[in-house]
Amino acid sequence: MNARFRRSGLAVAGIALFAVAGLAIPGAAVAADDKGNAVVGSCGWDPWNDEGVYGHATTGVNIRSGPGAHCARRGGANSSHSLHYRCYASDGSGATWTYLTDESNGVTGWVKDQYLSGGGSFRQC
């Protein structure tokens, strides 16, 4: 079973908790895509989650300010860099992005999971 689909139940549960508890993430609109992944609707969102898993980029990648190609570029990483995965979110189109820190240059931000070893983070933001 695809790991992304296994996470979908957690995404729906997490969103329900936010709704029931009346919690919100400042500056971010949280919803769910058709697979139940958390969708974050704004650039500049820096979640506090920390999965504690490390990986690397499969190619040279842009590190962005939010989970979407439209978000500003904060820096870049290449396949030799150690990346600290923190959590993931969906961009609303079905693609997931991992929030991470590049341990080689200190840049923190978002990279599309298709460019990350292991498919990125498995912890929902």
Residue 105 falls inside a structural domain? yes
Whole-structure pTM value: 0.70
Residue 106 within a domain: yes
Which CATH number fits the domain that encloses residue 74? 2.30.30.40
Residue 26 belongs to some domain of the structure: yes
Cα 76 to Cα 108: distance, rounded to the nearest angstrom: 10
Tens digits of pLDDT across the chain (125 residues): 444 443 444 443 343 333 333 333 344 444 555 555 555 557 998 888 887 889 999 999 999 999 999 999 999 999 999 999 999 999 888 899 999 999 999 999 999 999 999 999 999 99
Question: How many domains does the chain contain in total?
Answer: 1
The answer to the question of residue 125 being in a domain is no
- Note down the domain range covering 61: 3-119
Domain-located, residue 64: yes
| Residue 124, domain member (yes or no) | no
